[in-house]
Amino acid sequence: MAGRSRKKKEVVRVESAPEATTEHSDDRPTWTPTPEAKQQATKFRLIAAGLWLLAIAGEAFAIFWVLRQDPVNMVLLIAMIVVIGALAIGGSLLWKRANRLDPASKSEPTRFFVQNQLGAIITVIAFLPLIVLIFANKDMDGKQKGVAGGIAVAVAAVAVYFGIDFDSPSVEQYTEESNIIEQLTGEDLVYWTRSGSVFHVCEEVPDVNRESQDGRIYEGTVADAHAAGKSRLVSYWQREAINYCGYTQEQVDAVEAGTSGSGDDATPGDDATAPAEDAATP
C-alpha cells in the first residue's frame, strides 16, 4: 500500500541453472538450454525413470504374487498400493523439474504432450491393471475388494494429479519471455519470491516486495526462474515496466512490436486494475 513503510528486502542472485544460449533462426533468437542444464535434466529423468520402473515392478509383484495368495494379504496389498503411488509421484516431480531445465517444443505436438504428461501416463500404467484385477479377484470378498479397490483408486487419482503438468513449459515460451526481457532491459534478468508462482521485470515491483518469511527477492535468468518452479512471466509485465521499473510506454510498445506477443491481453494502465498474481505469504 502507498505510504506504508517497509523493510528493504535482500536481493539474492540465483545460479541454479546455467545461463541459456540462443540460436538465431529467421532473424529471431531461439532459447536453448546449456549443456550443463541438459546434463542436470538428464540426471533427473534417469532417476525419475528408475522410480517409475520400481513402481511398475511393485505393480507386477502385487498382481502376480500378492493377488494370487489365498487368502490375499490385505495389509501387504494396501502397503504395495501406497508404495507404488509414492514412487510414481516421486518420479513425476523429478520429471517436471527436468522439463523446466530442458523443455520440449510445441513444434512437435506429440513429443510435447508426451514429455510434459509422461508422469500421468506412467501412473495410469502402474495402477490401471492392478485396479482392474483387484475388482476381478475371485479370492477376495466384496468388502475386501471395496477397501483395496477404493484405496487404489484414491492413491492413483492423487498420483495422476501430481503427474499432470498444468503449466507445460516449452521452448517457445522460454524464447518469448527471454526476448521480452532482453529487448526491454538489455539483459536476461528477472525477479521473483520463493512463495510466488510467477517472475517479474524488476525488483521494485510491489509483488516481490510484499512481506515474506525469508525477506528475500531472488534474481536470475528466465531459465533460473523456471528452474526455481516459477511458471511464467507475470501477465501484466507491461504495467510493471511502466509504473515501477522506469520504462516508457514507447519502450513497451517497441518490445511488443518486436515479439510475437506476450501471451496475454494485459495492457498498461493503472496498477490498481491489475490483480496480484504473485502475492507472497509470510
pLDDT value of residue 16? 52
One-letter identity of residue 181:
I
Beta carbons within 10 angstroms of residue 251's beta carbon: 16
pLDDT digits 0-9 by tens, 65-120: 999 998 999 999 999 999 999 999 999 999 999 999 999 999 999 999 999 999 99
> Residue 28 pLDDT more than 90?
no
pLDDT value of residue 213? 75
Compute the distance between CA of residue 247 and CA of residue 274 in angstroms, rounded to an integer: 18
Compute the distance between CA of residue 282 and CA of residue 276 in angstroms, rounded to an integer: 16
Residue with cell 522506469: 246
CA distance to 71, 118, 145, 165, 226, per residue, from 84 (Å): 22, 16, 18, 20, 29
Beta carbons within 10 angstroms of residue 85's beta carbon: 25
For the chain, how long is the longest CA-to-CA vector? 76
Handedness of CA 24, 191, 214, 198 (dihedral sign): negative
The stretch 245-267 carries a mean pLDDT of 71
Cell readout for 87 is 514412487
> Residue 25 pLDDT more than 50?
no
Comparing 105 with 195, the larger pLDDT belongs to 105
Comparing 16 with 35, the larger pLDDT belongs to 35
**Regarding beta strands 216-220 and 10-13, do their DSSP bridges make them parallel or antiparallel, or are they unpaired?**
parallel
- Contacts of residue 222, defined as CB under 8 A and 6 or more positions apart, other chains included, come to 20, 31, 174, 177, 178, 181, 188, 190, 199, 233
Compute the distance between CA of residue 253 and CA of residue 173 in angstroms, rounded to an integer: 19
Least confident interval from 31-35, 75-79, 123-127: 31-35
User: Percentage of the chain surpassing pLDDT 90?
Assistant: 61
Comparing 29 with 122, the larger pLDDT belongs to 122
Number of H helices, E strands in the chain: 9, 7
Cell readout for 120 is 500421468
pLDDT digits 0-9 by tens, 153-191: 999 999 999 999 998 889 999 999 999 999 999 998 999
pLDDT value of residue 263? 40
pLDDT band at 267 (very low <50, low <70, confident <90, very high): very low
pLDDT value of residue 27? 52
Q: What is the overall mean pLDDT for the chain?
A: 84
Burial, 47: exposed, middle or buried (Cβ in 10 Å; 0-12, 13-18, 19+)? Answer: middle
Coil, helix or strand at residue 235: coil
Least confident interval from 15-29, 62-76, 226-240: 15-29
Least confident interval from 14-23, 89-98, 128-137, 241-250: 14-23
Comparing 282 with 164, the larger pLDDT belongs to 164
> Residue 45 pLDDT more than 90?
yes
The stretch 188-210 carries a mean pLDDT of 90
